[in-house]
Structure 1
């Protein structure tokens, strides 16, 4: 009885396909896979050890280069003593007239600009001298804080006199530039050597971006991190600018400050190399995922494994085909395959067998189900891609109008028009809120009109009587505040009017009208926006070329009328070819652009956003 049961489990009683797979796996696949695994493990370990040994040396050299550059910058305060007139200003302790103070302010600020911030020293962001409750300054960047001058003055007043140059982090002074560049302050006490008196304090804001050039020589991996911090863990420089100013709380847990070690603090195995300077105590760290060190080996390993799996599958299929005759199931399978070729994927090969034929039937059914899933996935991908393109078209406009707006505010600041600057900043703030607060692709007509009104008002401040505008609407007030249109469709067109109109016209007049009209192509009541100017107009051949660009479904280049093409492309992609831009222009008379959009309510917008 036992002998019969054992014979029932003999290897020769199993299917031939199973025998071939088992035999091939035992004799070929398993040894090869084992060899690949051992080779990969040994190589990965060797690479990790080599990087862990050599990277601290590179960091030592980079740290030395950084320190050398900082030492060169610490000599900058000495230049101040080369000018007798500047020292005379610093020695002065009182003024009988306000004009004398203003004259000294101008002379000192001009000297600081010429000497430090006007191109000679690319790494200097700003220079600030505090002397006898006076602040002299020259800066390439603006501070975020409005009372920065008082903050710097108070900080300088609380510093104990010292003859050495001190490195001050921005958070110690509690001021921050508007730009995200990494920087530190170098503080130097100004002493009158001749009279042995304390004249003031000098702070130089130094751009640490030069570290990028130093570390780029030995690290080009985009996923590697490199940062500099002080002994307490305060990050002074980081390849990820958003982490500058934060703290590395794990610095106390580092097993070494001059060497390499593995860590999994972020949930990912990384190799960290560290080097600390002996003079300032700054710590330079390099962190890279371990898998990036063996990226090429991983590729070879994966290819080898896939080839082995392919050989195993191929050998198994051949064994199955040779071992069994599957005439009837294959004929049925052939018929179903022809059905699939005609585009009908709703098929099912029903074979209720437990052998290889049944396995083939189940594999076929699984393949068809996978194809159906892939078709559905590709359809969803196409829809998402279209939405992504719509978002890209909209976001490309923002830098265009922001640049012009900031330039206008800068001109007003230079002219000292305080009230105008306040009004312009208020308008800019509203424009920024409009840009970033609403992530939808649609806004109400009233919101879009208010946005372009703010833009034109800023341009009015800039060009004064050279620009005049009028905005009217001939529609129901409720519709004006409840109907939705695509976001940022008016400003690009108005920008073009101002750009080309002011080149040839002393006075540019812009008229914007919003109305409801019947659309011949759509057959419905549509929203129509007309933007008319008295600019130079567009030549007929250029009008034809531009109309052809508007008919294209994609943006091929950033032409001079990129804004018009952008707006038209977004409207067509959102609402169809019956809507978009129409252009009418007469050379020497002006240009009128008509935007036609369907009347869209809030319910449709909610569905579109979902």
Structure 2
């Protein structure tokens, strides 16, 4: 019975797929594995020995290049002595007028930008000069800390000590942090005036350490290899994995050598070959670490040569692979063609792939990305149209013949009556309004500038209508906040114009109250800036008020109409800051109307960051 069972298990009775597998293993796989194992073992040992011998030499050369580059950067302060104007600014210790200080600040900052941060020195992240209590700077990135200028003074060398030499400040030694995650250090060097034998101040150069990656990339292209630079204490200054910059290498104290190679084994992790080299001047340690299994990938060449002898056996699999590869690459080629179409500016494309694999996921992501780009382009286009329309609207309101005629006629009457002071005031106001309209190309201005513009407009109307127009502007915010926070340009004047236009039609005397305050927003959940424009005009009928409120909800572009000013202002605010902000209307017949403008609190640096993101997306 056992014999019958054994006979039933004869090789010829197995399925064909099993026969092929067994035959393949017996005739090819086993001999090949033996050959590959012997060759691979010998070659891997040879590679490890060679890398362990030559890698420290490469690290030594890389360290020399790093030290040389750092040394070159320490000579940058000497460029200040190429300009007599800059030297005179540094030698100046006091000012009689604030304007002189501002002028020196502008000249010095411009010189620093031209000389150090505008492309000539790609590795210079920022330059800061502390001299006689002043801080001059030019930087490609801002600090997270608001009071950075006062903090930067703490790291300056004491004045009057010309013997100080350049040194390096690490991010861990500073109380300042850049907004970006770029690895950096500060080179601190005194500015010594050899002609007068005195110290003029201190220059702190923020150096982008990304150049280290460019240096080490010349001799290491394996993406799985780790390269880092650390202090003698083990604190990492630069790492190919940026998340580890600033951390401590806990194994530093267990390094057997600082100029050589050694094996490193940690429980649960693959063994690694570690090579290190320490610089003579900086004392920095450049470390290269690569898993041994990745290091031995080069031995695959020998294995592949051996496998090639038996390549005829895998022809069938190769044919299948060709078919599969063709099916996979076909949608990828189509995607490549569509991406070239998008590159030429045509975003009306659609990649139709209905599979549920990674290719299908990629196609859906591509379509979603194109749809998002189209939406962003449309949004930015709407914002630009609204902005240009608002500028044109405000400019036309100021220089249209009727406005100019009435204003000039009022000026002429004042001249005839000998009211010279009033004439000067009106001409000054008119000039300032025109300059505000045509000179500032930004989408936003400070709240103080916007309020001043509408105040100038109302003052001219006051000169014209005399006792028929009364206005009051209440600024319930700190004056510094009015100059610090920004608002979209031309949002008050259209509302004030509407109030005067409709108010004087039915009122002998129109009273306008404008208030600027800071209030909590129920929608935004934040402290917002609120501007209120209230008049004692005829009010708005309920049907007309409802129509106005409905028009404010339509954010798309509309032609000029009776409520163009209100809808334009509301649309620009919503497009720039979201649906939590915009206009609100309150009106009572024969009592008056109140328009409430709600915008977020945005400072200059936040506004610049947002505009840069819009430019990048565009």
In the superposition, the TM-score normalised over structure 1's length comes to 0.51
2:157 and 2:379 map into 1 onto residues whose CA distance is 39
Native 8 Å contact 2:59 2:276 kept in 1 = yes
Q: How many residues align structurally?
A: 386
Q: Give the CA deviation at 1:301.
A: 4.5
Deviations 1:180-215 (CA, angstroms, capped at 9, x unpaired):
222221111223334433332111112222223322
Alignment of 1:72-111 (within 5 A): 72-111=72-111
2:166 and 2:141 map into 1 onto residues whose CA distance is 23
Native 8 Å contact 2:168 2:187 kept in 1 = yes
2:189 and 2:76 map into 1 onto residues whose CA distance is 10
1:203 and 1:157 map into 2 onto residues whose CA distance is 10
Q: Give the CA deviation at 1:166.
A: 0.7
1:148 and 1:237 map into 2 onto residues whose CA distance is 24
1:184 and 1:197 map into 2 onto residues whose CA distance is 27
Native 8 Å contact 1:412 1:420 kept in 2 = no
Q: Per the alignment, do residues 304 and 165 of structure 1 end up closer, same or farther by CA in structure 2, a change over 3 Å counting?
A: same
Which ranges in structure 2 are unaligned for 5 or more consecutive residues?
Answer: 317-354, 384-439, 450-480, 489-522, 532-545, 572-613
2:40 is aligned to 40
Deviations 1:472-492 (CA, angstroms, capped at 9, x unpaired):
9879xxxx9xxxxxxxxx99x
Alignment partner of 1:277 out of 271, 276, 279: 279
Q: Per the alignment, do residues 72 and 401 of structure 1 end up closer, same or farther by CA in structure 2, a change over 3 Å counting?
A: farther
Deviations 1:304-339 (CA, angstroms, capped at 9, x unpaired):
789989979x9xxxxxxxxxxxxxxxxxxxxxxxxx
Alignment partner of 2:294 out of 292, 295, 303: 292
Alignment of 1:254-403 (within 5 A): 254-265=255-266, 267-298=269-300, 301=303, 388=365, 392=369
Native 8 Å contact 2:159 2:201 kept in 1 = no
2:111 and 2:56 map into 1 onto residues whose CA distance is 43
Native 8 Å contact 2:126 2:139 kept in 1 = yes
Q: Does residue 422 of the first structure (1) align with residue 470 of the second (2)?
A: no
Q: Give the CA deviation at 1:16.
A: 6.0
Q: Per the alignment, do residues 190 and 118 of structure 1 end up closer, same or farther by CA in structure 2, a change over 3 Å counting?
A: same
Q: Per the alignment, do residues 23 and 130 of structure 1 end up closer, same or farther by CA in structure 2, a change over 3 Å counting?
A: closer
Q: Give the CA deviation at 1:384.
A: 5.8
Q: Per the alignment, do residues 184 and 415 of structure 1 end up closer, same or farther by CA in structure 2, a change over 3 Å counting?
A: farther
Which ranges in structure 1 are unaligned for 5 or more consecutive residues?
Answer: 315-377, 426-448, 458-469, 481-489, 513-562, 564-610
Deviations 1:242-292 (CA, angstroms, capped at 9, x unpaired):
332222222222222212223344823332221111111111122223232
Native 8 Å contact 1:29 1:308 kept in 2 = no
Q: Per the alignment, do residues 58 and 148 of structure 1 end up closer, same or farther by CA in structure 2, a change over 3 Å counting?
A: same
Q: Per the alignment, do residues 231 and 402 of structure 1 end up closer, same or farther by CA in structure 2, a change over 3 Å counting?
A: farther
Native 8 Å contact 1:471 1:511 kept in 2 = no
2:218 and 2:483 map into 1 onto residues whose CA distance is 48
2:124 is aligned to 124
2:257 and 2:231 map into 1 onto residues whose CA distance is 15
Of 58-67 and 136-145, deviating more is 136-145
Native 8 Å contact 1:40 1:301 kept in 2 = yes
1:99 and 1:401 map into 2 onto residues whose CA distance is 44
Deviations 1:530-580 (CA, angstroms, capped at 9, x unpaired):
xxxxxxxxxxxxxxxxxxxxxxxxxxxxxxxxx9xxxxxxxxxxxxxxxxx
2:61 is aligned to 61
Q: Per the alignment, do residues 279 and 301 of structure 1 end up closer, same or farther by CA in structure 2, a change over 3 Å counting?
A: same
Alignment of 1:495-514 (within 5 A): none
Q: Per the alignment, do residues 250 and 389 of structure 1 end up closer, same or farther by CA in structure 2, a change over 3 Å counting?
A: same
Q: Give the CA deviation at 1:131.
A: 1.7
Q: Per the alignment, do residues 105 and 309 of structure 1 end up closer, same or farther by CA in structure 2, a change over 3 Å counting?
A: closer
Deviations 1:362-406 (CA, angstroms, capped at 9, x unpaired):
xxxxxxxxxxxxxxxx8576886676557656776899799999x
1:52 and 1:397 map into 2 onto residues whose CA distance is 54
Q: Give the CA deviation at 1:152.
A: 0.3
Q: Does residue 213 of the first structure (1) align with residue 214 of the second (2)?
A: yes
Q: Per the alignment, do residues 96 and 255 of structure 1 end up closer, same or farther by CA in structure 2, a change over 3 Å counting?
A: same
Q: Does residue 142 of the first structure (1) align with residue 205 of the second (2)?
A: no
Q: Tell me the C-alpha RMSD between the 2 structures.
A: 5.3
1:138 and 1:70 map into 2 onto residues whose CA distance is 20
Native 8 Å contact 1:225 1:240 kept in 2 = yes
Native 8 Å contact 1:236 1:245 kept in 2 = yes
Native 8 Å contact 2:447 2:485 kept in 1 = no
1:156 and 1:385 map into 2 onto residues whose CA distance is 53
- Secondary structure of 2:152's aligned partner: helix
- Secondary structure of 2:165's aligned partner: coil
Native 8 Å contact 2:447 2:482 kept in 1 = no
1:262 and 1:36 map into 2 onto residues whose CA distance is 24
Q: Give the CA deviation at 1:27.
A: 8.2
Q: Give the CA deviation at 1:151.
A: 1.0
Q: Per the alignment, do residues 225 and 23 of structure 1 end up closer, same or farther by CA in structure 2, a change over 3 Å counting?
A: closer
- Secondary structure of 2:213's aligned partner: helix
